[in-house]
């Protein structure tokens, strides 16, 4: 089925709207991730607890936009296409193609920035979890033998009960 130029221009405008919205959302998500990282580093747990639901909401909005963009790609290319954006660009006229490519490149760059920020926070939390697990293992040794997961990693049992005297 061959699409006429009017349909392609309307679809390009819709694709531009979706990707622009995704770029704006990624800016907000990256800012929130940076705020989360600062909260963790400053040990500001109230701020962290307040920002996590906002990040989940933003992630849901981003997923909805991604599904909308994928559906539009499949509508233009056909269901068996897999939604390849670069294949989609070949369908648009030259003047629209360049603008969409620039916008999509900006979107991908922002997505990589968000992934980098997320990976940094995840790495920090993983290191801190390992450190705290080591402290708990040293302070409160388990009476049981070590248990290993199916991948060979040591599975730590949760401390049975612990009462700390905070009055000094």
pLDDT beyond 70 at 165: no
DSSP tag of 149: -
- The terminus-to-terminus CA distance of the chain in angstroms comes to 79
- Are 22 and 107 within 8 A, CB to CB? yes
Task: Identify the three-state secondary structure at position 160.
Answer: coil
Q: Residue 135 pLDDT > 50, yes or no?
A: yes
Q: Which of 166, 156, 161 is nearest to 135 (CA)?
A: 156
Residue 57's pLDDT is 94
Structural domains in the chain, sorted by start: 5-143 (1.20.58)
Residue 158 confidence (pLDDT): 63
CB atoms within 10 A of CB 28: 15
Identify the CA nearest to 120 among candidates 34, 45, 49, 47.
34
% of the chain beyond a pLDDT of 70: 83
18: number of Cβ within 10 Å: 20
pLDDT of 23 > 90? The answer is yes
The β-bridge partners of 155 are: 147
Place 20 in a pLDDT band, splitting at 50, 70 and 90.
very high
Predicted confidence (pLDDT) at residue 2 exceeds the cutoff of 60: no
The pLDDT tens digits for 79-126 are: 766 667 888 888 888 888 889 999 999 999 999 999 998 888 888 778
* pLDDT for residue 85: 81
Q: What pLDDT is attached to residue 148?
A: 80
Residue 138's closest CA among 163, 156, 119? 156
Alpha-carbon gap, residue 63 to 60, rounded angstroms: 5
Q: Are 154 and 146 in contact (CB under 8 A)?
A: yes
Q: What 8-state DSSP symbol labels residue 163? A: -
**Contact of 104 with 16, CB cutoff 8 Å:** no
Contact 72, 82 (CB under 8 A): no
Higher pLDDT, 73 or 1: 73
């Amino acid at each position: 089925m061959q699409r006429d130029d009017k349909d392609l221009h309307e679809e390009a405008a819709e694709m531009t709207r979706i990707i622009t919205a995704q770029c704006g959302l990624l800016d907000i998500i990256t800012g929130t991730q940076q705020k989360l990282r600062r909260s963790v580093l400053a040990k500001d747990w109230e701020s962290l607890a307040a920002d996590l639901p906002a990040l989940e909401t933003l992630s849901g909005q981003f997923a909805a936009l991604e599904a909308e963009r994928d559906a539009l790609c499949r509508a233009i290319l056909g269901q068996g296409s897999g939604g390849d954006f670069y294949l989609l660009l070949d369908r648009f006229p030259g003047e629209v193609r360049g603008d969409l490519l620039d916008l999509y490149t900006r979107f991908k760059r922002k997505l990589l920035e968000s992934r980098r920020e997320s990976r940094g926070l995840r790495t920090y939390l993983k290191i801190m979890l390992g450190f705290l697990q080591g402290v708990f293992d040293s302070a409160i040794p388990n009476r049981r033998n070590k248990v290993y997961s199916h991948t060979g990693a040591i599975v730590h049992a949760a401390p049975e009960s612990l009462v700390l005297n905070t009055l000094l």
